[in-house]
Amino acid sequence: MARALELAESGLYVPTPNPRVGCVIVKDGQMVAEGVTQAAGHAHAEVMALRDLKQKGGSAEGATVYVSLEPCSHHGKTPPCTDALIHAKPARVVIAHVDPYPAVSGRGIAALRSAGIAVSVGVLAKEALEINPGFVSRMVRGKPYVWAKIAASMDRFTALPDGQSQWITGAEARADGHHWRARSCLVLTGIGTVKADNPLLNVRAIETHRQPRRAVIDPKLEIPDNAKLLQTEGLILFAANPDEGRVTQLTSKEAVVVNVPDQNNPDRVDMNAVMQWLAEYDINEVHVEAGAGINGALWRAGCIDELILYLAPTFLGHGLPMLDIPGIDQLSEADQLSFIDHDNVGQDIRIRARKFDRWQELVEHIESSNAQHAL
Amino acid sequence: MARALELAESGLYVPTPNPRVGCVIVKDGQMVAEGVTQAAGHAHAEVMALRDLKQKGGSAEGATVYVSLEPCSHHGKTPPCTDALIHAKPARVVIAHVDPYPAVSGRGIAALRSAGIAVSVGVLAKEALEINPGFVSRMVRGKPYVWAKIAASMDRFTALPDGQSQWITGAEARADGHHWRARSCLVLTGIGTVKADNPLLNVRAIETHRQPRRAVIDPKLEIPDNAKLLQTEGLILFAANPDEGRVTQLTSKEAVVVNVPDQNNPDRVDMNAVMQWLAEYDINEVHVEAGAGINGALWRAGCIDELILYLAPTFLGHGLPMLDIPGIDQLSEADQLSFIDHDNVGQDIRIRARKFDRWQELVEHIESSNAQHAL
């Protein structure tokens, strides 16, 4: 299963909106074939592994198949993997976790079992969840899994007061940041960042065959006509009761304008509505790269699952903060996160921290549906 | 040599003001004896290793002796280790680095060589420097090696605006902080911290046979008479032209008052003078545990070598900063540090960062004196 997870991870940038899945076929104690889920509309991991085996002249009959997610049982863009597996007649299928997609959850397992194939569920389930937090989140909560990327000095300023922020962190940290953009389905920023930096927010520092979609929180559609983002395909603009004429102008530039005003403040965007809209739009993972205002608004709205903080070995003394949130009165009121890892990235350190309760919700869902289908 | 360094490190809390040294004797490819430098006035590592060997009935004749610092050649509180080594007649002595103490630097090596013993210099020298940065700094620069311990939230606040700071970091981080207190020769704080928290600043969370001395930056000797620190032995108070009557009062309580006014601001303490005084007082390593004012003043005066930052997985939104330093205008003006390590400590992360140029000065000194005595 560890190898199946490695395979799933090798396709990290690829299959959105489908989950990343890896599959390994073992026969007589030997790994005889493996497969990775391809880009949306193409073959899933199980089919790839069976094809690999066939090409090598082998047969899966009596083999054990390890797959990092329950095989699909429905006709989507591709035929169901359970049919292919049943046809291949393995003795046993081992699954990391049950498919969180409500329409099929447990059905693949049931179909395999009816065909006389033994099925084990729950091997390295949490590790598998780490590979598809967005897919699971979208299925379980109707919202994407959201991380905010922040680069800051040791005294936690993201830029000097005048906005200078280039090269606070080094080239390796920027490339690493592009890895997170590449795995995401969508990069989200705010109109302040667009006006200040005119960024493209695409993946440049590393190779990928797929660019994430991009979106801007832009309540009054102030995006400048020369904004580079307007030249990218299918830019999404989240607005709050914007001017109709401006909507028409922007739509003609192929941007998508989504009106999601906050009920309590019609000049602001409702961040939860943004996330619901994105989930319906098949967005699994959102990479936020914005200023303190948007970071803070998302944090306050409970929309951020994870922080990816690049810490540079320097002090600025003053500057722009990481996120604007109201101060607390008692330490006991502080939001609890948990650090999940920290690594050297060139001269900088990357620290990842998760909102503990939000992650626990996904873990518990996976564990309870695994328990339900364990036998 | 790696084992000799391990031994040296095992005595991390012990021998101040002497350096921590480890010694291993190898004969016929076997480690036959080892020793660690004991508390000041007691035996050094080489003598301990020779004693160990003698007890086991062995002889060092023809052996190779690995020692993490050049053996001493002068009569201090103990007789010189070079004499003991010459008497024991090993074939070869391998040394991590030359003694930085100017009075003896290279003399031990010369004495061994005159006695016909082969000497190699420079094995794991940087690693050995990591174990005695304070001793080397005091010898080379006439100043201790200084680290500032800071515990902060992810948004870099060390306390809420009203000063609440207990339990921002967890029990493991506090115990780890006590490890750093224990290895230091002196814990330094400011009068603000004394007034706010009335701390003892001793080592409680871990075992040690030696408590560090404690010192307070207290320009006008405002320390309250009921301060717990006044009940500790030999508290040092750094003042700036204080009231003579108050000096007499405090001296009668066995505190040591040192008048080190800043030439440019007679109401403030000259931080560099503090450090010079401490080095003359045989202080190798200073552990700073203070507020943003003292941290900032030390930083601005160029007195901090290292930051030990405990990062708690939480956000406070507002509060007290880590260190008060003037803001820079250009990113290129920012002080450069380098991260040296980062570790999980309970729920928190400990990040160590060094002032790059200050460390390089020590490394270069060690490397150049090693080169000088290489043959």
Q: What's the pLDDT tens digit per position in B93-103?
A: 999 999 998 87
Q: Closest partner residue to A314 among B160, B334, B347, by Cβ?
A: B334
What 8-state DSSP symbol labels residue B20?
Answer: P
Tell me, what DSSP letter sits at residue B159?
B
Decide if A307 and B349 are in contact by the 8 Å CB cutoff. no
pLDDT of residue A162: 85
- Give the C-alpha distances (Å, rounded to integers) separating A288 from A178, A181, A193, A238, A303: 12, 9, 11, 14, 11
Sorted by sequence, the CB contacts under 8 Å of residue A13 that are 6+ apart come out as: A182, A183, A208, A209, A210
What single letter denotes the amino acid at residue B140? V
Residues composing chain B: 375
Per 3-state DSSP, what percentage of chain B is helix, strand, and coil (rounded to 5)? 35, 25, 40
Q: Strand, helix or coil at B23?
A: strand
Residue A166: closest CA among chain B residues belongs to which residue?
B331
Both tokens of residue B34? Answer: 């080892």
Instruction: Please state whether beta strands A186-190 and A285-288 pair in parallel, antiparallel, or not at all (unpaired).
Output: parallel
List the alpha helices (DSSP H) in chain B. 2-10, 45-55, 81-88, 107-114, 125-131, 133-141, 171-183, 191-197, 244-252, 271-280, 292-300, 356-372
- Best A154, A155, A355 residue to mutate vs chain B (most B CBs within 10 Å): A154
Structure tokens at A76: 């989507």
B152's CB contacts (< 8 A; 6+ apart) are: B158, B168, B309, B310, B311, B312, B322
Partner residues linked to A238 by β-bridges: A217, A258
The CA distance from B312 to A270, in Å, is 30
pLDDT along chain A (375 residues), means of 10: 93 92 94 94 92 93 95 84 93 95 88 95 95 96 97 91 82 95 97 94 93 97 95 94 94 92 95 98 97 96 96 93 89 89 96 94 95 87
User: Is B336 close to A314, i.e. CB distance below 8 A?
Assistant: yes
Q: Distance of CA A22 to CAs A89, A264, B76, B252, B264, Å?
A: 19, 45, 68, 75, 68
Interatomic CA distance for residues B129 and B136, integer angstroms = 7
Torsion angles phi and psi, residue B141, rounded to 5:
-115, -5
Say whether B342 and A348 touch across the interface (CB within 8 A). Answer: no
SS3 A358: helix
Strands A186-190 and A314-315 come out as unpaired
For residue B187, is pLDDT > 90?
Answer: yes
> From CA A327, how far away is CA B166, in angstroms rounded?
17
**What DSSP element (H or E) covers A197?**
helix A191-197
Q: How many CA atoms within 13 Å lie on the side-chain side of A110?
A: 8
Can you tell me the distance from the alpha carbon of A53 to that of B352, in angstroms, rounded to the nearest whole number? 50
Q: What is the structure's pLDDT at A101?
A: 87
Chain B residue with minimal CA distance to A162? B329
C-alpha distances out from residue B169 to A130, A324, B157, B158, Å: 26, 22, 12, 10
A154/B309 Cβ within 8 A: yes
Q: Which of B314, B318, B330, B333 to mutate to test the interface with A (most CBs of A within 10 A)?
A: B314
SS3 A95: strand
Question: Token digits for B255?
Answer: 């505190």
How far from each other are the two terminal CA atoms of chain A, in whole angstroms? Answer: 19
- Chain B closest-CA separation from residue A291 CA (Å): 14
For B366-369, the CB contacts below 8 A with 24+ separation are B366/B97, B366/B98, B366/B100, B366/B125, B366/B126, B366/B129, B366/B136, B367/B122, B367/B125, B369/B97, B369/B98, B369/B100, B369/B105, B369/B106
Minimal CA separation from A32 to chain B, in Å: 39
CA proximity to A117, closest of A147, A93, A87, A88: A93
Selecting from B156, B328, B339 the residue whose C-beta is nearest the C-beta of A344 gives: B339
- State whether residue A23 is helix, strand or coil: strand
pLDDT at B279: 97
Helix H or strand E encompassing B67: strand B64-67
**C-alpha–C-alpha distance, residues B111 and B62, integer Å:** 17
Residues of B in contact with A305 (CB under 8 A): none
User: Which amino acid is present at A148?
Assistant: A
Instruction: Look at B335 and A315 and tell me if their CB atoms are within 8 Å.
Output: yes
Q: Do A338 and B155 touch (CB under 8 A)?
A: no
**Hey, are the CB atoms on B315 and A336 less than 8 Å from each other?**
no
* Digit-coded pLDDT (tens) for B131-164: 999 999 999 999 999 999 999 999 989 988 888 8
Query: Nearest Cα to A287, choosing from A97, A6, A16?
Result: A16
Instruction: Of A106, A347, A317, give the one whose Cα is nearest residue B340.
Output: A347
Residue A352 identity (one-letter amino acid): R
Q: What is the pLDDT of residue B74?
A: 81
Looking at chain A from residue 196 to 215, which residues have their Cβ under 8 Å from any Cβ of chain B? none
Supply the residues of B annotated as catalytic: 46
Quick check: B307 contacting A, CB < 8 Å? yes
- Among residues A316, A313, A246, A236, the alpha carbon closest in space to that of A269 is found at A236
The minimum CA-CA distance between A38 and chain B, rounded to whole Å, is: 36
Categorize the per-residue pLDDT at B233 as very low, low, confident or very high, splitting at 50, 70 and 90.
Answer: confident
- C-alpha span between B43 and B77 (Å, rounded): 9
User: B218 vs A327, B13, B254, CA distance in Å?
Assistant: 31, 27, 16
| Mean pLDDT (whole number) for B252-274 | 94
What span, in angstroms and rounded, lies between the C-alpha atoms of B196 and A251? 60
The neighbour count for residue A12, using CB atoms within 10 Å, is 16
**Mean of pLDDT values over B334-356:** 95
- The CA–CA distances, whole Å, from B326 to B105, B187, B296 equal 41, 25, 9
Compute the C-alpha angle A343/A171/B309, nearest 5°.
40
Q: Give the percent of chain B with pLDDT over 70.
A: 100
**Among B164, B334, B338, beta carbon nearest to A316:** B334
Q: Do A153 and B327 touch (CB under 8 A)?
A: no
Q: Select from A156, A330, A351 the Cβ nearest to the Cβ of B156.
A: A156
Residue A313 and residue A321 in contact, taking contact as beta carbons nearer than 8 Å:
no
Q: Helices (DSSP H) in A237-322: which residue ranges?
A: 244-252, 271-280, 292-300
**Interface-testing mutation among B328, B330, B352, with chain A (most A C-beta atoms within 10 A):** B328
Q: State the DSSP code for A159.
A: B
Mean pLDDT of B287-292: 96
**What's the per-residue H, E or C state across A364-375?**
HHHHHHHHHCCC
Residue A271 in 3-state DSSP?
helix
E strand or H helix that includes residue A285: strand A285-288
Q: Which residue of chain B comes nearest to A317, CA vs CA?
A: B327
Q: Give the 3-state secondary structure of B283-326.
A: CCEEEECCCHHHHHHHHHCCCCCEEEEEEECEECCCCECCCCCC
Please name every residue paired with A285 in a beta bridge, in sequence order, or none if there are none.
A145
CB contact under 8 A, B316 and A322: no
d(CA A308, CA A285): 14
Judged by a CB distance cut-off of 8 A, whether residue A357 touches chain B is no
- Cα end-to-end span (Å), chain B: 19
The confidence score (pLDDT) of residue B315 equals 92
Tell me what percent of the residues of chain B surpass a pLDDT of 90.
85
Q: For residue B320, which residues of chain A lie inside 8 Å, CB to CB?
A: none
pTM given for the model: 0.92
> The tokens of A239 are what?
């607005």
B164, B323, B328 ranked by CB distance to A331: nearest? B164
* C-alpha span between A134 and A283 (Å, rounded): 8
